[in-house]
Structure 1
Amino acid sequence: MTRVVVLAGGVGGSKFTLGVREALARRGDPAATVVVNTGDDLWLSGVRLQPDIDSVLYALGGQNDTVRGWGRAGDTERVNAELQAWGAGWPWFTLGDLDLGTHLARTGWLRDGLSVTEVVARLSARWPLGVTLLPMTDSEADTWVRLESGEVLHFQEWWTRHRATLAPRAFENPGLVGAVPAPGVVEAIAAADVVLLAPSNPVVSIGPILAVPGVRDALAATSARVVGVSPIIGGAVVRGMADVCLTAIGVDTAADAVAAHYGSRTAGGVLDAWLLAEEDAALAPAVAAVGITPVVAPLWMTDVAASAAIADAALAAAAR
């Protein structure tokens, strides 16, 4: 059995995880561990939301809304409308009724004393996911955006309300001070044959996972090959506003620049190999120049089959 660990977040991470599950099932290796970003988490109207956890959970459980790209399929918004009538919550942040059921269950279990890891395990038991989901940490590690104006906003307000139009100076996760990886994360990385970085936002999805104290050390120590998949195709982001995030930390919106941002394991970074889109084949030498093996492959995740093909390419790169 090939032991695979995926670091993931957001819609890109959920699509890629579906592809990994499909690729491994075809090989007769259906098991994988997915470590999910919890930097997007927040408290809203008294309940704890974990958007990236839920995106991966719903996608693997076949419950996600594939049209909107987030939330539950067939959801309604009666409770959300009532919250707005009371002036509660955020008028620009929609909570679906089915989705709210997940948040209420999560919040109740957390208040009963369960850890985030234990709550994720309970949520995972509802549908046959085919993978093990783990949060990056049990600590609250919400991402905050420090603007050029000096104001500080929760990531979700900056991202969802303002659509990343307010110039960011830095992204911070103060809750990671003194945090540790969730139980099983370091162990899964240590035992892995392959570690895959999903084509998620490098700054606010993968970045917080790598910032959890102990995760980079685990990646440095593992005997597994670490392969990343570029979220940049043809010099543009596939989804969302990752280009704004990259610019804020001084990284160009280019596949080779993101690879260099992650860095080669031989030079203290995290990558052994990097998948570039066919549109970016000319950037392969620049990736090789920083000590990372470039692999050119089709990277558009148009459906599960295409995502599985990308996962196959990543697994093949690890085997070289």
Structure 2
Amino acid sequence: MKSKVEILEIARKTLQIEAEGISRISTQLNDDFSEIVHQILYLNARVIVTGIGKSAIIAQKIVATFNSTGTPAIFMHAADAIHGDLGMIQQNDLVICISKSGNTPEIKVLVPLLKQGGNKLVAMAGDKESFLAKQADWLLDTSVEHEACPHNLAPTTSTTAQLAMGDALAVCLLECREFSSADFAKYHPGGSLGKRLYLTVGDLAAQNEKPVVTSNASVKEVIIEITKNRLGAVAVVDEGKLSGIITDGDIRRMLNKNTTIDGLTAANIMTISPKYIDKNELAVNALEILRVNNITQILVGTESKFEGFIHLHDLLKEGII
């Protein structure tokens, strides 16, 4: 049994070897990479990504990244392709074939069929002299010196290199397309990621009450309004204009300073020039304001128009945090 120290050393060595593998393939980039990006950018069809074994798993991840960043892509297993799935490839589709050796039997059967169909072929291969590399129109060289596996057998560094090369393609494509966060949101509408990209302050504020008092309201009226709406704060609004905010903390500080609340009004205890945010801002921007100012709620609207509150709990509930 390995000791904790030995286990950590093995882990560090593995990560170092794989990092060196990625560093190596970055030096192997050439004009073929740029040409592939241009081919995909102006492709009036889809990108088909295929592979066998562990490379097939990497191919699936690359397809997922392409699709989520605006490049239409389909995964095709190399073994299934020669047993009927080849029919999914259309005339103008570009095919990226991933293989460490570039010489597996399935690849040797598949490549001539792709060439026969007239499809442009990109090889992502770990051997520049392999069958796949020599038959392809363009080559992405993902050769590595050795696997992280101590026996140099289990695909580790090689699959990491393939994954990184796929990411490099996807990022180049999205930057060339000027793919924005708004575009990204179209493909990720679900989950916390999507909400960070489209959920607005107004969406959250609409779910809450709008506790309001005037500046001449008594402290008792203020406390009742705060308690009734359970947002921990109340807006002070006079003639439609936002004058300030009173929070639970303001009430506690007032009680600590005064032996009696008789005669005190909202104007005496409110915080003037409070933080507020426009309803059209993204909710994630409100979170940043809360963090920077170490507060738990923020007014929604402008100086001339109070439109509600959002609370830190609203952001927690929606998974923004």
Using structure 2 for the length normalisation, give the TM-score: 0.30
User: Which protein is richer in helix relative to its size?
Assistant: 2
Which protein is bigger by CA-based radius of gyration?
2
Q: Name the TM-score, length of structure 1 as normaliser.
A: 0.30
